[in-house]
Amino acid sequence: MTDAQATLGGVTVSRAAAGTRWLQLLLGFIIMMTISSPQYVWTLFTGAFQKSTGALLSEVQWTITILIVIQTWLSPLQGWLVDRFGPKMLIGLGALLSGLGWVASSYVTTLWGLYATYGLICGIGTGIVYIGIVGLMVKWFPDRRGFAAGVVAAGYGFGAIFTTFPIDDMIKSAGHQQTLLTFGIIFAIVGVLASLFLRAPRSSEVMPAAALTQMATSRDATPGEMLKTPVFWLMFVMFTMMSTGGLMVITQFTSFAKSFGIDAKTMVTIAGFTLAAIPAALTFDRVTNGLTRPFFGWVSDTIGRENTMGLAFILEGIAIWLMLQYRTDPYMLVLLSGLVFFGWGEIFSLFPSTLTDTFGTKNATTNYGFLYMAQGIGSILGAPVAAMIFEKSGS
């Protein structure tokens, strides 16, 4: 093998191509970080939006449902557009819209204005970016699909690690409007700049189909063919159930914590540092939610997707049960909420890689768009439906 060559899964390709795909993975990770806050720090804004709009919690929670429904249910169309026109333009547009959604929502004082800005605009933007980045990475890494999908999905999970405390502090010091304006501009600029260097792989830069026969199917199914198979709908139901539990915790965490007697004034001491319990939990959750995606993606590349799903899903059920048992203990709530997210976030690496293994790479972005719609159903069950149950039961 010459200095200009490298080995991918036992197949020799140019060393430049091997380096390019890792650069693409890094860019995808960065862009995913810029679109994560609209979903993952949403819970910090719910109280402010209730006051500014005069709406009930369940009414405000429809905002995050609209965001996720738009993000997921438009993803087949968005995936097709990315496949048709290339990742650079579409993903750059999505990053811009995601940031502008926050900027626009900083000016609204009505519930419908909130739905149109934070919900609709952010939903369109984050959807284009998410489906485009994941679809691009499973093409660049056919030999490590679980790991690659997990890394960029980790960017979506990790992004709010760096913003949770700054956003929480800025809301308290400058108000939610200035916070949305400032961070929305920052997210848009970083995301657009990174997207300028994205591109799809050339045929000479990825492993040939013959080399992948032991890892995945060489058959490329169209979306229509895929939708006729029972295995797709089984995966759709599984994705819906798993996303519901995690999204319920994400969107309702502040409300849940308050009902357990833990509010903005509750402090915890971790490793010698005294921190506010709720933002500490949200930050720790982002860490575990990010780590689980490449970790379980790598595990699935090693022991198989289905075996990994079984392990992760059992862990998630145990984690939620334990969190409820220790719900009034601030320290345990922080710790166990992190375990909940470690058992949940891996769905965003396991499902796209499993789907691509099963139905091929040619239509991977569009095909995953159809499966990703399941998270939209989970957002309805986990956000407004859960909020209505909470309001009616008082528990």
pLDDT digits (tens, 9 = 90+) for 340-351: 989 888 888 889
- Reported as a single tens digit per residue, the pLDDT across 351-373 is 988 998 899 888 888 888 899 88
How far is Cα 377 from Cα 150, in angstroms, rounded to an integer? 22
Q: Which amino acid is residue 269, in one-letter code? A: T
Q: What pLDDT sits at residue 213?
A: 45
Contact (Cβ atoms closer than 8 angstroms) between residue 360 and residue 217? yes
**183-187: long-range contacts at Cβ-Cβ below 8 A with a sequence spacing of 24 or more?**
183/37, 183/102, 184/99, 184/100, 184/101, 184/102, 184/103, 184/105, 184/106, 185/99, 185/103, 186/99, 187/34, 187/35, 187/37, 187/95, 187/98, 187/99, 187/102
What Cα–Cα distance (Å) separates residue 57 from each residue in 34, 54, 60, 391? 26, 10, 5, 9
The pLDDT-based confidence of 17 (bands split at 50, 70, 90) is low
What's the pTM value of the predicted model, to 2 decimals? 0.76
What pLDDT sits at residue 369? 86
Please give, one letter per residue, the 3-state secondary structure of 275-324: EEHHHHHHHHHHHHHHHHHHHHHHHHHHHCHHHHHHHHHHHHHHHHHHHH
Return the minimum-mean-pLDDT range out of 30-34, 49-53, 54-58: 54-58
Parse the chain into domains and list their residue ranges: 14-393
Token pair of 114 as six digits: 């909130």
Residue 111, phi then psi, degrees to nearest 5: -65, -45
Residue 261 has pLDDT above 60, yes or no: yes
How many other CB atoms are there within 10 angstroms of residue 55's CB atom?
17
391 has pLDDT over 90: no
pLDDT of residue 12 exceeding 80: no
Would you state the pLDDT for residue 3?
44
Query: Is residue 241 predicted with pLDDT exceeding 80?
Result: yes
Q: Which residues contact 233 (CB under 8 A, 6 or more apart)?
A: none
pLDDT above 90 coverage of the chain, percent: 33
Sort strands 273-276 and 267-270 into parallel, antiparallel or unpaired.
Answer: antiparallel
φ and ψ at 275, to 5 degrees? -130, 155
Whether residue 87 contacts residue 200, with contact meaning beta carbons closer than 8 Å, is answered with yes
Task: Evaluate if residue 16 carries a pLDDT over 80.
Answer: no
Identify the CA nearest to 138 among candidates 87, 70, 197, 101.
Answer: 87
d(CA 212, CA 11): 10
Q: Per residue in 189-228, pLDDT tens?
A: 999 999 999 988 887 776 654 444 445 555 788 889 999 9
Across all residues in the chain, what is the average pLDDT?
85
Give me the pLDDT at residue 218, please.
54
**Amino acid identity at 360:** G
Confidence of residue 180 (pLDDT cuts 50, 70, 90): very high
Kindly report, residue by residue over 278-323, the tens digit of the pLDDT. Answer: 888 887 887 888 888 889 988 988 888 889 999 999 998 899 899 8
Q: What integer pLDDT is reported at residue 207 of this predicted model? A: 60
pLDDT, greater one: 172 or 256? 172
| CA 258/CA 253 separation, integer angstroms | 9
What are 143-174's pLDDT values in tens digits? 888 898 889 988 887 777 788 889 988 999 99
CA torsion sign, 117 to 119 to 121 to 126?
Answer: positive
Question: What tokens appear for 40 in the block?
Answer: 């993952």
Q: Which pLDDT score, from 0 to 100, does residue 209 have? A: 47
DSSP string spanning 207-251?
A: --GGGGTTTS------HHHHHTSHHHHHHHHHHHHHHHHHHHHHH
CB 162 within 8 A of CB 283: no
**pLDDT value, residue 189:** 96
CATH fold label, 14-393 = Growth Hormone; Chain: A; (1.20.1250)
- Is the pLDDT assigned to residue 185 strictly greater than 90? yes
